[in-house]
Amino acid sequence: MTDDVRFDVRGGFGWITLDRQRALNALTLDVIRGMQKHLDGWAENPKVGAFLVEGAGEKAFCAGGDVVAVRRSRIEDGEGNAPTQFMLDFFGEEYRLNRTISEVPKPYVALMDGVTMGGGVGISVHGDFRVVTDRTLFAMPETGIGLFPDVGGGWFLPRCPGETGTYLALTGVPVKAADCLYVGAATHYVPSEKIDALRDALGDLPSGENLSDAISAVLGNFSEPAGDAPLAVHRELIDSCFRHDSVEEILEALRAEGSEFALKTAELLELRSPTSLKMTLELMRRGARCASLAEDLETEFALVQSFLTGEDFFEGVRALLVDKDRSPKWSPASLAEVTDETVEAYFSRDGKAGL
């Protein structure tokens, strides 16, 4: 199907290896489709008792979705500001894959060794077993590219302890293994030097049965304490400042708190897309009331179509990933210009329905 991913059956596992190392294993539409096809098929295969996904190389599990290709689609095939069919297929099928991962009837293991961001979070955090290492760098950095934390971010981030999910969503800051465990994004920490041995141990598990207990036992044998979580140190401040329901109030609270951490956090927020910040905060509040991941993903699919008619997402991708000047020109440029009516319009626009 594509050279960017490999599918194998090892022991009792349907084994997926992302192998697009030049792009930190970012997800293309073909990779998404291949994963969907194999998960669907393996779910019905009695010889496959579990699934495992990993990234090739030592740098990344998966750095996200191929948003550069999404931007290219607008340039090459776009008509006005309407989303192209490729854009709708990319996001719709990615979100459908995220939902499938959460619903598959067999254990799902993600080895999050290396960079795990955006779309990489979507193919890991919804699974049963989520292994991080000392090389893990975890983030939902979408507000920095003019988008919002999608792939189910509206479901899992509001369910992180206190307001840590809101903090991660708005700032997009990367965190390491201990924080991943602290917020519930990971289930086990395994030192990177043990990952090869862990792969062998999992691959030796028998086929033809549900492997949940056996996987749990193997991971228990390899896992170690990850140390103190930096987010826990700042938890009281995060909860106090990010409990507000407007970005302006959050910034005001951070500046009033005045510590180095608070002021650096405020500076980070000021660099993000104003539209993304306000839509993300609203998504966090709505997501906290969602009844299921599936419901949240439907909301996200409608919301992303609104973003695809705007400019910030394409400008953010240009500035950070294409030209790499890191100087996006956001439009609107200020929080004040993103009104409550603007926010509501983004969430209520008609678009292609359903995943």
For the chain, the average pLDDT equals 96
Percentage above 70 pLDDT, the chain: 99
Task: Please report, in angstroms and rounded to a whole number, the separation of the first and last CA atoms in the chain.
Answer: 23
pLDDT of 146 reads: 98
Question: Is 65 one of the catalytic residues?
Answer: yes
The pLDDT of residue 252: 98
Is residue 211 scored above 80 in pLDDT? Answer: yes
Six-digit token string for 184 = 């519930």
Q: Dihedral of CA 141/305/273/78: which sign?
A: positive
**Is-contact 112 176, C-beta < 8 A?**
no
Which pair of structure tokens corresponds to residue 85? 């069919």
Active site residue 325: no
Task: Give the C-alpha separation, 271 to 262, whole Å.
Answer: 15
Residue 53 in this model has a pLDDT that exceeds 90: yes
Give the pLDDT confidence of 14-37 residue by residue, as tens digits.
999 999 999 999 999 999 999 999
Task: Read off the pLDDT of residues 224-272 as tens digits, 9 standing for 90 and up.
Answer: 999 999 999 999 999 999 999 999 999 999 999 999 999 999 999 999 9
pLDDT digits (tens, 9 = 90+) for 111-157: 999 999 999 999 999 999 999 999 999 999 999 999 999 999 999 99
Is 4 a residue of the active site? no
Residue 330 · residue 312 · CB < 8 Å: yes
Among residues 150, 179, 282, 312, the one annotated as catalytic is 150
Provide the token pair at 220. 């228990």
Q: Which domains does the chain have, with CATH numbers?
A: 5-228+273-348 (3.90.226.10)
Catalytic residue among 11, 34, 65, 114: 65
What percentage of the chain exceeds 90 in pLDDT? 94
State yes or no: is 119 an active-site residue: yes
Whether residue 354 is predicted with pLDDT greater than 80 in this model: the reply is no
- Residue 1: its pLDDT value, please? 59
Catalytic, out of 12, 114, 119, 120: 119
Q: What is the pLDDT of residue 352?
A: 78
Catalytic residue among 4, 94, 142, 282: 142
Cα–Cα distance, 114 to 297 (Å, whole number): 26
State residue 53 phi and psi, 5-degree precision: -125, 135
What is the rounded CA–CA span in Å between residue 7 and residue 111?
15
Q: What is the pLDDT of residue 350?
A: 77
From 169-183, 205-219, 289-303, 318-332, the region with the lowest mean pLDDT? 205-219
